[in-house]
Amino acid sequence: MFRCFFPDEYVDSTYMIDFEKLYQEGYRGLIFDIDNTLVPHGAPADTRAIALFRRLKKLGFGCCLLSNNQKKRVASFNDAVQVNYIENAHKPSVRNYNRAMEILGTNTENTIFIGDQLFTDVYGAKRAGIRNILVKPIDPKEEIQIVLKRYLEKIVLYFYEKEEGIS
């Protein structure tokens, strides 16, 4: 019933992902959500995010930010990390996941999406046929509509963890 929302992988933080291993496995494109995936909601790119993108580019990854935020927010974040981006993405719509892969010159076989929300990030990536990694939100302080979705996410994650044998 909830399987369409189950992540392919669930980790504590974007900054704990073994990107070197993913590169060795043949992945070449990384698509990221911004808020609560890379930085707290609304925060500018910090030194950790800047260092991450510098490292990813050095490894050979193409990177694209895919955000439902407006251009001002996404462009200001991107000023510090200097990757491709798509704002106002309407996730979980598949259209801009596909557009991100076009920009990166990648496909569903060698692209990974990383985000913090099941019903937008993971669901959209699954619909687009992209491997996805769900990360725990960086900051519990969120807008009310996201707080409400988090309650529903807890139900889905309960069944996900039960099925995966995670306790």
- What is the structure's pLDDT at 159? 83
Average pLDDT value for residue range 85-102: 97
Please report, as a single letter, which amino acid is at residue 28: R
Q: Does residue 121 register a pLDDT over 70? A: yes
- CA distance to 20, 26, 39, 124, 150, per residue, from 117 (Å): 24, 25, 14, 10, 8
Q: Does residue 65 register a pLDDT over 80? A: yes
Q: Does residue 101 register a pLDDT over 90? A: yes
Residues 6+ apart with CB under 8 A from 60: 23, 28
* DSSP 8-state code for residue 16: G
Mean pLDDT of the chain: 93
Q: What is the pLDDT of residues 1-34, one digit of tens each?
A: 678 889 999 999 999 999 999 999 999 999 999 9
